[in-house]
Structure 1
Amino acid sequence: MIQGRTVLAVVPARGGSKGIALKNLCVVGGTPLVARVGEIIRQVECIDRAVVSTDHDGIAQVAEAAGIAAPFRRPKSLSGDRIGDVDVLTHALGEAERIDRTCYDIIVMLQPTSPLRTSGDVLMTITKLVEDDFDAAWTVSETDSKAHPFKQLVVENGNAKLYDQRGGAIIARQQLSTLYHRNGAAYALTRSCLLDQKTLMGERTGAVVLKDHHISIDTEMDIELAEFFLSKRPENKKIDCVEGG
């Protein structure tokens, strides 16, 4: 609980994956991805309840061993690779509230495929949501100038064209505005944002800018990069929530 508001963490971890088989069970830094989320959740004391949304019994077992409850299974209708996060979170919230016989004020989505998150990242996201009265809060990273939309191309029939014609006026990277992208470390949203606005990005969404490297696991190379960056990081320490939590 934080400032009188209850917090539910949802860990979406389906069994299917086109890139890496059973990706959410891949071992990174000596720990399965879904179990790494459990380690982080235990360090953020304002999270009242954590559940895994999965259609796979093996993932559920690993999650439970890491302290993430698995009291329900995600239905097949929500287990495809084209199912949106809003539908998955709405189902998980409904099931958790039905089982727990309570309502949760804040929902935090923690995807196992972001193994470089820290407990501090999660706490800052929840705190940003509550203290600044946002509908949602996301962790973001500054986008490298090489990935700026003005520098991107489209290829049609072998011909390269600027994705955005305004890029033709850019001579030096210093002319480019600073942009950000979501890095997947943490998403926090209010109950109303999820159920009424039906979106992860509410009418008012706060940004928590993270300086460290963040990787979303999609390929074997991503795993190797995550292993490298984890090897350079100190162990996370237990942290407390803001006063009133």
Structure 2
Amino acid sequence: MFVALLAGLGLGFSLIIAIGAQNLFVLRQGLRREHVLVVAALCALSDAVLILVGVSGIGLVLQAVPWLVVAIRWAGAAFLIGYGVLAARRAWRPSGETLAVRDDRAGGGGTPGGADTGVRGTGAGTTATRTRLIPVILTALALTWLNPHVYLDTVFLLGSVANTHGDARWFFAAGAVTASVVWFFGLATGARYLGRWLSSPRSWRILDAAIAVVMVALGVSLVLP
């Protein structure tokens, strides 16, 4: 049982720690200090559901419906490319507002207890408006559930490996779920420490440009033979 738990933890981390659409979105939200815990919880919960679905054997049923996988692939490609275009637009024509990470060490721009008000101050006194919760939730869900790679990794691959552990497969699943929870919450909350390198509009333009390239590349890769 303990061996299965460690195996699930190790494979879970190896699959999830990679540059992808979901991780980049979580990272960006963490840097912006916007709805961080909500995004991390949604991604971790979605992964947990998909892992449990795979371990339960439903992945074998999905393999019998190939058109569903094709539909998800094209929908995911369209969404990723669209998101990439929006990121490219932010990089090419940034808004007049300067988005910066609050400097807790200076004691400014925040509320007591580190609460996030949604408006962040910069050294020049400029501010950025907080993104509403609903669009952030919808984007997080779309980047998870419209990404065919998520199904391949969690439902099919993890599910297949888990079932090789027989009765201990649920311990394997628990390890994989733990990896997702640790990774997403660690990435979302740890992103704040990158703030010193992303405190200027130019840095954010570079980040958005990188996000655009990765998103479009992932989207195109989904539909290429």
Shorter-chain-normalised TM-score: which range? under 0.3
| TM-score when normalising by structure 1 | 0.20
Higher helix share: 2
TM-score normalised by length of structure 2: 0.21
Hey, which of these two has a bigger chunk of strand by percent?
A: 1
